[in-house]
Structure 1
């Protein structure tokens, strides 16, 4: 048995209307939650037939944290238990290639979406890039602009393992063989967003622990890399020295809607990924996200909670939750269980440790463990009744501004800022301030 595939996980899919591919994202946006819109609700799973493609589009699967958790039997209920996963890792299994291979490459046959008319072009938004080099592997999702029949412009953050692996290949005068996997098992998607730089563990090994079964890998057609065997669609190819503006015509301006709810900035020069082959499972679906809907926030938030629990050994921390209000990255609520009065003084060092490991975090709210950190109202209740912000909100120096957050830009009033803040919304140890009807999860 291998990890639950996306196809096995799709349940209760609602069929939407037949639309042109550039209309799909706009239609689905009416269901999107925070931060795309002001609706604080989960998103339905929708399947759209596209007028110029035989492949339907699926949106919304990751729009509900509860739905995602139901597909991950190994996911701990609370982030404080995440280190248990290290004892349950399951490496991928390698299986024969039984996929259907296209006779040629033409990316226009895929129903790749534009989220808005402002987008630089059609983007792959759920392609998990797999690469291996020198005994190491990289597995992460990147935005990829379709430049033509067989070329993608790929943006890689400087901190990503894939970018370092690509630079190493170029330094050796080589190209980096990769696969782009679309519609992968939920455990693999969550694992792709893990921050494992501080851990001696492979992301796909953790995916096996989350799924309670291994992720299956199949050889690419040329044997240069591997593809996720259960991926609905897999692109094979390489990233070489070629670069391109992140735009189809002229100099780039905007890219596409990003996870915080605002349009992203396109890059002047990004590497080009050349696609040499395409394979699918029978009757594939094309999975996408529309950018700042709840899906990206859930993926990043669930993975962030696991990453935090894996790398942080602190008996104070019981649970943690990255809120969709911060795109699953900027707003973190942490539930603590104090054992002595000295624990009241440990919050500054704990905040600094969290910020070192998760530099995108902008605001941390510490609560007691009778607060459900996944419930925004409960966290706000703790902030309102268990903190006095004049003394309990502490701002620390930040690692640098995050450009996707407009309030951190120099043009913002008072010059923006890059500080990081934590709020102590916990009861001082030994003080009787219990809530009337208990609480917590």
Structure 2
């Protein structure tokens, strides 16, 4: 197990102090020119989500902060709502990962991978130091209808808080605290439903508590530093808290505070947190809800019902809202692509797979879930096939993913034009596509019908690498020479060419390809060499 890093050991590549809360994050986003403030009242039901959906399709795609929800102008809480938080903006993802905003995507994934190796335990602070305890409601004071919790889509079964949230539960066996991102439907003035797919940590915690006939404590932050959204969406070892991974990325311990009606540790700098309890067997029908694949999830016959016991919030709190939709309007797509790619790459490193040049979970593929591309330098027979199989089933990549594609190191995995070219010119379907059956999927997969077939799925492993056994004689691709590229690069502005010169990964090199006695070819050897 890795030793947790001390904050002083971790370099912050962004060159500034780590972001402490959502308000500081928004300030930096506004300085970048990627925040729109809407001061006029806007309807929380479908209108806000429509604005977020359409803004996400712009380039650049700004976050949007609604200063007032129509009908809530005189609300004693005065909540504001943030949509398209990260969206498809790589700059905002880099900012959240505490990296320079102009970091290229593959480099950003590599940096995130390295940061995921660092773990810094959270730092508990007193309640007087926790901004989230500025205001507290308990008992009969609790009325979630005072919050402008929105309806996202026309056919949604209700109003949903989040899913840009951090849902906090404790493992009944080990005691470790998990942070997950799950949808929460408003069910009453002090009740919310909690939907979780099979296999997710919070669902496992609730199931084990109920098997013992015990209630389970739960909390949720509805206004969070987007870093919590990133780490909460990933699969980590079930004995390490996401607080430690968030601290490792940020480079310092995350401040947490003990709950008032639960024994859970809450993010001290959150905008709004609810605490509650789920009693044994307490469920209520929930859904449908427009989900990350861009389709409605089916209604659940019964979802665990949270009885809210306390609400804590900062003055004029900002509620974070994540629209699930088609790309690029699916909130999870951009950040999920980077962090999930880093997680899969890290898993391959831990498994000892050499020669990995990049991993990319494409954001357009069902919220970053559906497609994973691996770029690797083939070093031995079966190398590509091994990487494909492990990427399909490693902890970071097992859930939902349908298409796993391997390409050679001359292909940029984030450039789908290059990936498709490799698939068309290096993949022979009859030999290079394998299928895994009965794999871990989700109730939200619209291709699995009847729905009772879910959550089992399948995966296609697509080898779009040059055939390893015939590498020496595989047709040579057309590439620029390095000297010519450098010459053109040096004259780019002189020639009046627009923009910046595109980067190129593959260049022409001299290879010595010679004949062998056994009829084969091998680079780099002269006749008669052994």
Q: TM-score, normalised by structure 2?
A: 0.73
Q: 1:2 to 1:280 in 2, by over 3 A?
A: farther
| 1:165 aligns with one of 205, 227, 244 | 205
How many residues are treated as equivalent by the alignment? Answer: 420
Contact 2:166/2:180 (<8 A) preserved: yes
Q: Does 1:233 align with 2:272?
A: yes
Which residue matches 1:102? 136
Cα deviations by residue, 1:76-106 (Å, 9 ceiling, x for unpaired)? 9365666633653111111122322233211
Which of these residues, 103, 115, 120, is aligned with residue 90 of structure 1? 120
Is 1:322 the counterpart of 2:353? The answer is: no
Aligned to 1:433: 477
Superposition pairs of residues 84-163 of structure 1, within 5 angstroms: 84-85=114-115, 87-97=117-127, 98=130, 99-103=133-137, 104-124=141-161, 125-133=163-171, 134-163=174-203
Can you give the 5+ residue segments of structure 2 that lack an aligned partner in the other structure?
1-16, 73-77, 101-105, 486-502, 507-530
Aligned to 2:337: 301
Residue 384 of structure 2 is matched in structure 1 by: 347
Cα 1:85–1:14 change in 2 (3 A) is: closer
For 2:269 and 2:253, locate their aligned partners in 1 and report how far apart those are by CA, in whole Å. 12
Residues 250-272 of structure 1: CA distance to partner in whole angstroms, max 9, x if unpaired?
A: xxxx5111101111111001110
Q: CA deviation at 1:223?
A: 5.1
**Does the aligned pair in 2 maintain the 1:114–1:122 contact within 8 Å?**
yes
Q: Which residue of 1 aligns with 2:80?
A: 56
Quick one: distance in 1 between partners of 2:292 and 2:311? 28
CA distance in 1, matches of 2:440, 2:262: 41
Alpha carbons 1:145, 1:246 under 8 Å: kept: no
Residue 214 to residue 42, structure 1, CA distance change in 2 (3 Å): farther
Q: Tell me, yes or no, if structure 1 residue 278 matches structure 2 residue 311.
A: yes
CA shift, 1:403, in A, is 4.1
**Greater relative contact order (CA < 8 Å, ≥ 6 in sequence):** 1
Paired residues for 1:391-402 under 5 Å: 391-399=431-439, 402=442
Residue in structure 1 matched with residue 290 of structure 2 by the alignment: 257
- 1:287-317 deviation line (CA, Å, top 9, x unaligned): 1012123311224323312321332231132
Work out which of the two has the higher radius of gyration on C-alpha atoms and give 1 or 2: 2
Q: Which residue of 1 aligns with 2:91?
A: 66
Task: Please list every run of 5 or more consecutive structure 1 residues that lacks an aligned counterpart in the other structure.
Answer: 34-38, 248-253, 412-416
Q: In the alignment, which residue of structure 2 is the partner of 1:202?
A: 241
Equivalent position of 2:225 in the other structure: 185
Q: CA deviation at 1:58?
A: 0.5
The CA RMSD over aligned residues, in Å, is 2.7
Quick one: distance in 2 between partners of 1:332 and 1:87?
21
- Residue aligned with 1:286, SS: strand
CA distance, structure 2, for counterparts of residue 102 and residue 440 of structure 1: 55
TM-score computed with the length of structure 1 as normaliser: 0.87
Q: CA 1:234–1:68 in 2, change beyond 3 Å: closer, same or farther?
A: same
Partner of 2:42: 19
C-alpha deviation, 1:197, in angstroms = 3.1
